[in-house]
Structure 1
Amino acid sequence: MKKVTVYSLSTCPVCKKVKRLLDDNSIPYTLIEVDLLEAGEQWVTTREVAKRNPAGTYPTTVVEEVIIGYDVDALRAKVLGRDGS
Structure 2
Amino acid sequence: MEVCKLYSLSTCSHCKACKRFLGDCGIEYEFTDVDLLPDDMRTEALDEIKRLTSRCAFPTIIIGQKVIVGFKEAEIREALGL
TM-score after normalising by structure 1: 0.90
Number of the residue aligned with 1:34: 34
Within 5 Å, give how 1:4-83 maps onto structure 2. 4-70=4-70, 71-79=72-80, 81-82=81-82
**3-state DSSP class of the match of 2:76?**
helix
**3-state DSSP class of the match of 1:67?**
strand
**Following TM superposition, where does structure 1 have runs of at least 4 consecutive aligned residues deviating by more than 6 angstroms?**
none
**3-state DSSP class of the match of 1:68?**
strand
Aligned-residue CA RMSD (Å):
0.9
**3-state DSSP class of the match of 1:11?**
coil
**3-state DSSP class of the match of 1:61?**
strand
Q: Partners in 2 of 1:73 and 1:36 — Cα distance? A: 28
> May I ask how many residue pairs the two structures share in their alignment?
81
Structure 1: gaps spanning 5 or more residues: none
Structure 2: gaps spanning 5 or more residues: none
Matched residue type, 2:73: V
**3-state DSSP class of the match of 1:56?**
coil
